[in-house]
Chains A and B, each alone.
Chain A
Amino acid sequence: MIWLAVVTASLGCYLLKLAGVSVPAAWLEHHAVRRVALFLPVAMLAALVATGLFDAGGRLAVDYRLLAGMAAAVVALLLRQSFLVVILVAAATTALLRALT
């Protein structure tokens, strides 16, 4: 099942890129459609953050150590740190709190 998802989604994503440089530009220049495509990552990435934090196997629960890791990530982002620093800070904070509690 994982292989099916990996192969299908990979080919699909490539075909989307190929369509972008192949179809007439006029097809893609509808302003509203373009805005939808740019908002999709915003809505879905936010949903992925939320489910990553609050989904405990189909019920709502919060692991406050994960939440603290996310708060640390926000601080790193506000300090304009790089991608790697942000996720390492999150992982280290969560790991530290797990070791202590």
Chain B
Amino acid sequence: MAAYAGAFGASFGAVSIASGLDIAQTMVLSLVMFSGASQFALVGVIGGGGGGLAAIPTALLLGARNAFYGVPITRILGRAGLRGPRRLVAAHLVIDETTAMAIARDEPDEQRYAFWATGTMLFSLWNIGSLVGALASSRVGDVGALGLDAMAPAAFLALLWPRLRVATARWVAAGGALVATLLVPLVPAGLPVLAAAPIAVVAGLLPRRRHEESS
């Protein structure tokens, strides 16, 4: 897990610099946003020529799921565990990995420990990794020659992959990719990605199929 977080962070740092952000901007994202998919999406939209205004809603829509992870985390940490400033710190650590690690345990004590231990470790290594990746990437002159422009789409693919186990999700992914591709010549950069969002809304509101419940 530790090696994974550091390497994941380093790849974000490298992709961020290759997308045209500087080291300070990259580190603000890793320190304050601290949510892998949203960070990759923001730099991906900017790197693709989309203005900041398209990148903001893209990152927020991707980050919306973290709010829903708050439900099991609140149950696990309890009212006492979320009092005062602890709530502000705990909230920052509510992401895919910490939620998954916490709810995988059975005992309440172990769940709380898993949340805090995973959260602090991931936060530290993600940021150290980001800095190392950003510093290394900023020394590279020719982004294309090293294939660094292939890293962003590959990162999106790797983030998408584990979410495709459910059949409905595969349809949503195909629809999103198709809509975005068709819109590329028609609308300014950044908007094709945002235009994929309504597909998720429609799929989410449709009646659920019977054997789909692993998301």
| A residues neighboring B (CB under 8 Å) | 1-14, 16-23, 25, 28-29, 31-55, 57-60, 66, 69-70, 73-74, 77, 82-84, 86-87, 89-96, 98-99
Contact = CB atoms under 8 A, between A and B. Distances in A.
Nearest to A91: B147
Given A40-B65, A42-B169, A18 B200 contact: no
Given A13-B63, A91-B150, 6 more contacts: A6-B21, A6-B42, A25-B71, A43-B199, A44-B62, A49-B153
Given A6-B25, A41-B65, A82 B4 contact: yes
Contact of A52 (B29, B44, B164, B194): B44
30 contacts: A9-B33, A13-B33, A14-B33, A17-B66, A20-B69, A20-B70, A25-B74, A36-B201, A38-B215, A39-B168, A40-B65, A43-B173, A45-B62, A45-B156, A46-B196, A47-B195, A48-B156, A49-B156, A49-B177, A50-B176, A50-B181, A51-B180, A57-B49, A69-B153, A87-B150, A87-B151, A90-B154, A95-B150, A96-B147, A99-B145
A90 B151 contact: yes
Nearest to B215: A38
Interface in B173-188: 173-181, 184-185, 188
A12 B184 contact: no
A35 B215 CA distance: 8
Interface stretch (B84-92, B101-109, B120-128): B84-92
A24 to B, nearest CB: 9
A58 B4 contact: no
B193 A48 contact: yes
Contact of B66 (A8, A16, A54): A16
User: A interface, by DSSP: helix, strand, loop or mixed?
Assistant: helix
A18 B147 contact: no
A89 B41 CA distance: 20
A94 B145 CA distance: 8
Contacts of A11: 32
Contacts, number: 327
B64 interface: yes
B contact face: mostly helix, strand, loop, or mixed: helix
Contacts of A9: 33, 38, 42, 55-56, 59-60
Given A5-B46, A6-B28, A90-B151, A51 B60 contact: no
Q: Which of A5, A7, A57 has the most CB of B within 10 A?
A: A5
Given A14-B32, A54-B181, A36 B157 contact: no
